[in-house]
Structure 1
């Protein structure tokens, strides 16, 4: 009997506790709802920024690596054994300079044979032309003789070219950056022989965002600096601006850089292009946080009196935590930069003391 009474009391106590907890939660929820209602009825606290057009410099920096103005890999144009090698890695060469010889005995013999054949066919062609004038041969016989002579002339020119190819000449002026052959090596046509780079002038290749690339043009002068000689300024000229950007909307830009005696830059070094412009634009920049849901929304809240009004704008360049507004705002207007999460179009607001101007 005692157990029944005890279990009954426990059950009643548990029921009372549950009802008390439910009632307590209900009051708490009602309190929160009432608080939200009161908040919605009252002014929403916000931070603001006054719109002021500022001078905006068009100057900007872009980083890249220096490259040779010209570079190429020289491939063998004739087969044979290397009989003389006149350069080594690091050698300075001029365009047209002989840098190696390939054994040309066989092609030389072919050239002599082609020359002798050409001379004989020239005599035959002249004889047939004279005979044709007196009626001794037909026109077809004369034309055949001329055709044989023309064919022999072509073969002689080809043999001359093959002999010329055994004299390996530098196609450009520059420095032998890499040598792939040794004296006595046998070459086949197409074998790599040398890498030649021309660093008398350099190229600096950089990537420029779409907002800045539209301000550049070919032939424009640019000041270039480097990490290795930070005290020296190098003159450069824009030689190429890509017509198409990459997936990040960056456009490759190349400029030719003049080296400075005693402070010569080398290909592969790091450089900075300083694109300067003495002209300035009047531009409106607002805090990035002013945009509702992010810059891509192109929407902000503008204060009209103590009322928040949603405004459509056109965002432009982004510089750190500031965003250019190209259209939609005027000088002197007030933009809400914080507190938008609690706002609706037409809500009344109150500006906090730490508002920025």
Structure 2
């Protein structure tokens, strides 16, 4: 009898427990259904940003390496043996300064012979011209002697040039950076003799992105610094802006940089160009997250009253997590920066946290 009562009580308790659990689940499901129904028919929570314009400097930095303003490799223009070598590596030379002498005995003899031949033909030409006036010679004979005289004159000038080439002179001012010959060496035309570089001024070549190269112009002054002399400032002048960029849409820009006495920069050193805008421009920026499907879409949502409205804008340059807006927004507009995935044009929205 006792066992029957115990089993009865256990059965009743189990039934009560099952009924209570079913009732609790029902209430939970009803609550979830009500929440979903409320979410589907209610306002979508979003984050917003008030649009404002601020002063924005267009200045930027670009790095590159210094190169000499001029450099060349001097090649021998005549044959002969070097009799005197007047410079060494590191020597400073002026344009037109003699830097070597080449044995010119043979070419000097050629010059003397060419001059003697020219003098003789000059006398012959004058004699034939005088004789032609009296009918002593024909026009053909006069023309022939004039031709011989012109050829002799050209030969004399060429011989004089060869003699001049035995005096090797610096074609530019600069420094002998490399010497390839020694005194006593025999030269042939085209033999490399010296590398000469002019570092009185330098060139700095940098690459500038497309969004910034449009702010530059030839002749513009640029501040230039170097890690070697961080305390010094050098003045550069833009001399070249490429008309075509590379595959990364960077444009080569070159500037001429004056050296500073006592703190001379050398070719190959690292330099930084400081491109500065004369005045700060009023610019409008919004968060990058405001764009639907990425900045390239040029689509955002703005909050008008309590609804979201899709709007087309014109995006400019991207700086960090901010995007420049060049059209489509006005100062004071409210841009939605989060929650766009749940939005369509005209969807009611509410600002998270209640801040508007």
- TM-score, L = length of structure 1: 0.85
Match for residue 8 of structure 2? Answer: none
Match for residue 68 of structure 1? Answer: 68
Q: Deviations over 1:227-249 (max 9, x none)?
A: 11111111222222222222222
Match for residue 190 of structure 2? Answer: 190
Cα distance in 2 for residues equivalent to 1:118 and 1:321: 82
- Alpha-carbon spacing, 1:37–1:123, altered in 2? closer, same or farther (3 Å): farther
Q: Deviations over 1:205-228 (max 9, x none)?
A: 222222222222222222111111
> How do 1:8-27 and structure 2 match up within 5 A?
none
1:168 and 2:184 correspond: no
Cα distance in 2 for residues equivalent to 1:298 and 1:189: 65
Cα distance in 2 for residues equivalent to 1:41 and 1:74: 85
1:227 and 2:256 correspond: no
Match for residue 339 of structure 2? Answer: 339
Secondary structure of 2:141 counterpart: helix
Secondary structure of 1:231 counterpart: coil
Q: Deviations over 1:125-155 (max 9, x none)?
A: 1110111111111111111111110011111
The offset of 1:83, in angstroms, is 2.4
Cα distance in 1 for residues equivalent to 2:311 and 2:341: 15
Match for residue 79 of structure 1? Answer: 79
Q: Which has the greater radius of gyration? A: 2
- Alpha-carbon spacing, 1:86–1:349, altered in 2? closer, same or farther (3 Å): same
Secondary structure of 1:46 counterpart: strand
8 Å contact kept, 1:74–1:195: yes
Match for residue 282 of structure 1? Answer: 282
Match for residue 95 of structure 2? Answer: 95
Task: Give runs of ≥4 in structure 1 deviating > 6 Å.
Answer: 31-37
- Alpha-carbon spacing, 1:306–1:258, altered in 2? closer, same or farther (3 Å): same
1:296 and 2:316 correspond: no
Match for residue 57 of structure 2? Answer: 57
- Alpha-carbon spacing, 1:111–1:330, altered in 2? closer, same or farther (3 Å): same
8 Å contact kept, 1:47–1:354: no
The offset of 1:262, in angstroms, is 1.3
Match for residue 349 of structure 1? Answer: 349
Unaligned runs of 5+ in 1: 1-30
Secondary structure of 2:204 counterpart: strand
Cα distance in 2 for residues equivalent to 1:185 and 1:305: 91
The offset of 1:106, in angstroms, is 2.6
Secondary structure of 1:119 counterpart: helix
The offset of 1:47, in angstroms, is 1.8
How many residues in Structure 1 have an aligned counterpart in Structure 2? 326
1:179 and 2:175 correspond: no
- Alpha-carbon spacing, 1:134–1:293, altered in 2? closer, same or farther (3 Å): same
The offset of 1:59, in angstroms, is 2.0
Q: Which moved more, 1:345-354 or 1:312-321?
A: 345-354
Secondary structure of 1:274 counterpart: strand
- TM-score, L = length of structure 2: 0.85
The offset of 1:108, in angstroms, is 2.3
8 Å contact kept, 1:301–1:340: yes
Cα distance in 2 for residues equivalent to 1:75 and 1:133: 51
8 Å contact kept, 1:292–1:340: yes
The offset of 1:39, in angstroms, is 4.2
Match for residue 237 of structure 2? Answer: 237
Q: Deviations over 1:18-71 (max 9, x none)?
A: xxxxxxxxxxxxx99998776443333222211101111122222221111111
- Alpha-carbon spacing, 1:230–1:54, altered in 2? closer, same or farther (3 Å): same
8 Å contact kept, 1:132–1:142: yes
Match for residue 152 of structure 1? Answer: 152
Match for residue 9 of structure 1? Answer: none
